[in-house]
Structure 1
Amino acid sequence: MMLGKAIRLERMFNRNTGRTIVVPMDHGVSVGPIYGLVDLKGTVNQIAEGGANAVLMHKGLPRCTHRGAGRDIGLIIHLSASTSLCPTPNAKTLVGSVEDALKLGADAVSVHVNLGDETERHMLHSLGEVTSKAAEWGMPVLAMMYARGPQIENEFAPEMVRHCARVGEELGADVVKVAYTGDVESYATVVESCCIPVVIAGGPKLDNTTDLLRMVHDSIQAGGAGLSVGRNVFQHRDVSRLLKALNGIVHQDWDLDQAVEFMGEKLD
């Protein structure tokens, strides 16, 4: 089983850099078929052409995206869900299993946990169940860990993000996705406190491409293992070109100037 997990992780991560570019496309459940997620096959083809390592989606979508023409790309099946229509949208529930992902040929599964929510205990229980089952099958687990609840004043505070990363690590995840803390120094403390790869989330839709490139560049400088960014990628005006720039930063050690120039923009 350890060999199986190693092989799947090598499909998810670049073997030479040990880093990854993941594009989540699970937003259709939470907010509906937003721009970028209507022509799923077309968007996934652009993402693959740009050089992303994997896409992340719910179990019903691979039949729309991973068959027929187009370049192949890694697949992560998301097992958690809630909708914006619910009075408690931060309360995630399991809607799939490790076995579902195996049947789909997935390379990994992911689980979403919001620490601080009133239903935190249920989400932690779900994460623990998934990591145990995944270990039996040699399936990697990506834990999306956020601090979101009535007592959370700042979900981007370094101490909060460190706590999130540590919970994912301690409950058996193989990769943890957390918010970016805003600067190299503080994010480095998150990476240093975790013995598994840490990738950044994209957060809300950013105003410009340069802000995204800077965030990804700085996270790599801090020792991060890459990114798992959705809307800021699949809703971009040129998805493939943006991913080529991100690929340059994550896998080719481009500096920020190179990436910004490649996108035809200028640093402030």
Structure 2
Amino acid sequence: MTAVNGKERRLRRLIAEDGRTLLVALDHSVTTGVVGGLTNMGSVMRSVVSGGADGIVAHRGSAAREMPVQRDTAMIVHLSGNTALSPQSELKATVCEPETAAAMGADAVSAHITLGCGHREDRDALVGLGAVARSCDRLGMPLLVMTYIRTEATDIGPDVLHASRIAAELGADIVKAAHPGEQYLTDLAAQVPVPVVIAGGGPDGSWDAFLNSAKNAIGAGIAGLCVGRRVFGSVDPARATAELRGVVHGSG
């Protein structure tokens, strides 16, 4: 029998037997302050767990204080942060280390990388990601990399594919990407050698349209979703989570 290492064991908390995952991101308060739906983090987390999310992404404070102790929804500690008080809030600093997350009992960690910001900024982002990935390998800790691009291009698909492949090449076990456009979904799923989850984006547009877009992504081979504002901004986060779970895992 082949031994299963720590990273593989933890990934099984995140990725279901169907190879898919629904992650709910609740890491927004560091960037934006207390925005709608995140005033009571404990309530939101309990709702997301009851709705059946595979994992919750949160900063260390909320993860330590509010994440329910249970078996079903994994805890992903976010390592990156900056605030909207900064004129370049998309440039994140490392505000937590994988070792700290491991001591908290995290099932995985996540790191944010923004590319297209300039030579020095992009280089620093790559160096930082490499250091985090190295620590995660040593600890047996899965790494979710959230990829963002600063661009004025109308067609962002090629850049999304490039950034996602960069994250995979530098050690990501799961990549979070912006929706690249319908015509790029199959390539995104096929050309990135680790599971890719699509970001939920802002709350614009109808819920039904968002669900249809999510179904198309899953049908194209995308491994899942990583949704924040569409869930915690909902009047019923548990129901929103359950509906998204149905889309990701095939019952919706």
Q: Contact 2:146/2:177 (CA < 8 Å) preserved in 1?
A: yes
Q: Which residue of 1 aligns with 2:160?
A: 161
Alignment of 1:215 onto 2:209: no
User: What TM-score do the two structures reach when normalised by structure 2?
Assistant: 0.93
The count of residues paired between Structure 1 and Structure 2 equals 248
- Higher RCO, Cα 8 Å, sep 6+: 2
Structure 1 segments of 4+ aligned residues over 4 angstroms from their partners: none
- Report the TM-score, using the length of structure 1 for normalisation: 0.88
Q: Give the Cα–Cα distance (whole angstroms) in 1 for the partners of residues 247 and 223 of structure 2.
A: 11
The correspondence of residues 40-79 of structure 1 with structure 2, limited to 5 A, is 40-67=41-68, 73-79=73-79
What does 1:217-256 align with in structure 2 at a 5 Å threshold?
A: 217-254=215-252
User: For residues 90-101 of structure 1, what are the structure 2 equivalents within 5 Å?
Assistant: 90-101=90-101
SS at match of 1:60: helix
8 Å Cα contact 2:46-2:68 kept in structure 1: no
Structure 2 unaligned residues grouped into runs of 5+: none
What percent identity do the matched residue pairs reach? 37
Alpha carbons 1:146, 1:155 under 8 Å: kept:
no
- Superposed CA deviations along residues 221-244 of structure 1, whole A, max 9, x for unmatched, are 110010111001111122111221
Q: CA deviation at 1:72?
A: 5.2
The one-letter code matched in structure 2 to 1:201 is A
Q: CA deviation at 1:214?
A: 1.4
Look up the match of 2:134.
132
Relative distance call for 1:192 and 1:42 in structure 2 (3 A) is same
**CA-based RMSD:** 1.7
1:38 Cα shift? 1.1
Change (3 A) 1:170 1:80: same
Among 6, 9, 22, the alignment partner of 2:8 is 6
- Please tell me the residue identity of whatever aligns with 2:60: K
Task: Work out whether residues 52 and 72 of structure 2, in 8 Å CA contact, stay in contact via their aligned partners in 1.
Answer: no
Alignment of 1:80-99 (within 5 A): 80-99=80-99
Alignment of 1:174-185 (within 5 A): 174-183=173-182, 185=183
Residues 174-222 of structure 1, C-alpha deviations (whole Å, 9 max, x = no match): 0100011231x32111111111000001112223211220121111011
Whether 2:118 is the aligned partner of 1:120: answer no
User: Quick one: which amino acid aligns to residue 195 of structure 2?
Assistant: P
- Indicate the SS of the match to 2:5: helix
Unaligned stretches of 5+ residues in structure 1? 255-268
Indicate which of 202, 205, 215 corresponds to 1:204: 202
